[in-house]
Amino acid sequence: MDTHGEKTGIFAKKELWLGIGVGVFILIAFVLPTPQSLIEIMEKYGYVQKMIDWEIAHNAKEASDKTMIVLGIVPMAVIFFAVEALPIGVTGLLMPLMAYFFGLLPFNMIGKTFSGDAPMFMLGVFALGATVVEVGFHKRLAVWLLGWTKGFWVPMIVLCFSMSIVGSFMSAPAMCSFMVPVMMAVYYGSVKATSPKGKVVHDPALAKYLLFSLCFALNMGGPGTPSAGGRNVIMMGFFTEYGIPISYSGWMKYGWPLVPIGSVLLLLYMATFFSKKIKTRDLTPGLEYIKEETRKMGKMSYAEYVTAGSLFLIVFLWIFGGEATGLGGPALLALVIPILFKTVKFEKILSRISFNAWFMYCGALTLGALLKESGGALWLATTFLDGLSQIGMDKGYGLWVGMSAFSGLVTNFMSDAATVALIGPIVVPMGIMTQVAGEPWAIGMAVALASSYAHFLIVGSPANALTFALGVYPDTNKRVLEAIDFVKYGFGFFVLSMLLLWIVGFLVIYPIVGFPEGILEQATQVLQSTAK
């Protein structure tokens, strides 16, 4: 992810990491011998015959060679996404590019893997956030959420709960992009009011407290709904591929209860870390400063009314539209409504959309399809299961804990969407093969929900990166946070977040909500037919 800052040390040497990534790809794809277990699985489940039918291979050796190329792409993508050896959008584009040049799929299939409902959904979410900021509606939102509060703890309680809830419906990067400047304005107004005249005495602990509360709250909203991030949509896509789609409201039954509980956990955690360090104990002056800025804007403008209406309409369609509208259809209204109602110019919206991240999401879907269709995902699933079985974590709760822990750790080193795209094709067949009721929804959601908890590295999520980049003191323009701050304050909260998922999510929510009958049987049939 783009940290909007300068990387230092070994991580700044992009040419080095580019060489390492390419070297790992060549080693796996062309140097290492093909495991006999891979060939056996490909022959047993019909992947060899499928590639022959597609005319991209002529025999078992050529088919397994194609799969080894796919397996070589995976660690290369991990390295490139994690350290930005290339822009993440370019890395995303490499996925279909390599599929074309190495003949990993039939040509008419490659383009389909790079498009679909999920990319349209993410494009619309980016556009929605861009429109909200462009018309200034974010300031109204800030006043509505916090303007009525006074003191210190009431604003912080409202901030944590409101950002987690809002962040569960909207893109966290979109919210972060206009809320970080608002929080720094609240901070500056508060410390200025308590400083001697003509001099501003800063309170770094307060600034960090506000920024991390906002950032972690948005991260905690991630499990709530599919619209919280591409990671959830990507996992929903994997479910659909196996004939067991989950609806927007269906996802919320499992993920959304974690949001308010996570907010309480965040409040307690931040209070423990910062309560004795903060000198400024009253945010009222800062909140009055924001309200004054909003008063200068006057009454809500026509553009703001249209933006608010489109926001609520899109969320309504996401929740109640179901399969009739999908997720991409309503989201694309965010690109069309501002133009039809002449509130924001199309060029303005496009300039605010992160196409770099969008291409990354598209490429992640292609990589997932390559793993699934080549048999690589099934082989990795079998290998992981063999390893987990040695320690008694090959099915049910143990499998959910093991793979969610892996997902949570990996997502701190690379994009959450890329994490799910890489792990999802592995865990879905892994869950099916355990033959535990409720699979592969249970293991798939365990991985996707854990991928929201990217708290302890800047590159872990766009919200982290934006908080780090935009969190500057208004008078000096110096950054509030250092990279080590995310490790210092974020790792402990990451551990607590995982415990929340393992205890509340798996032991309470899963049993209470339950899983639809027949999903395991349906997914098993699709897995078997895929190999034919």
Question: For residue 172, what are the contacts with CB-CB under 8 A and spacing of at least 6?
Answer: 218, 219, 221, 222, 228, 229, 461, 462, 463
Report d(CA 144, CA 138) in Å as an integer: 10
Cβ atoms of 531 and 375 closer than 8 Å = yes
DSSP 322-348: GGGTTTHHHHHHHHHHHHHTTSS-HHH
Cβ atoms of 390 and 406 closer than 8 Å = no
Report d(CA 532, CA 196) in Å as an integer: 77
Q: pTM to 2 decimals? A: 0.69
Tens digit of each residue's pLDDT, the chain (532 residues):
333 344 456 667 788 989 999 999 999 999 999 999 999 989 988 899 999 999 999 999 999 999 999 999 988 987 887 677 888 789 889 999 999 999 999 988 888 888 777 788 778 877 887 787 788 777 777 788 788 889 999 999 999 998 999 888 876 766 776 788 788 888 888 888 888 877 888 999 999 999 999 999 999 999 999 878 778 888 998 898 899 999 989 999 999 999 999 999 999 999 988 878 898 888 998 888 778 878 888 888 899 899 889 888 887 887 677 667 777 888 889 899 999 999 999 998 888 777 877 787 788 778 878 887 888 877 887 787 778 778 888 889 999 998 998 888 878 766 677 678 777 888 888 899 889 989 999 999 999 999 999 898 776 777 787 788 778 888 887 888 877 788 889 999 999 999 999 999 999 999 999 999 999 999 999 888 865 5
Residue written as token pair 């200068």: 296
CA distances from 427 to 96, 197, 510 (A): 22, 60, 18
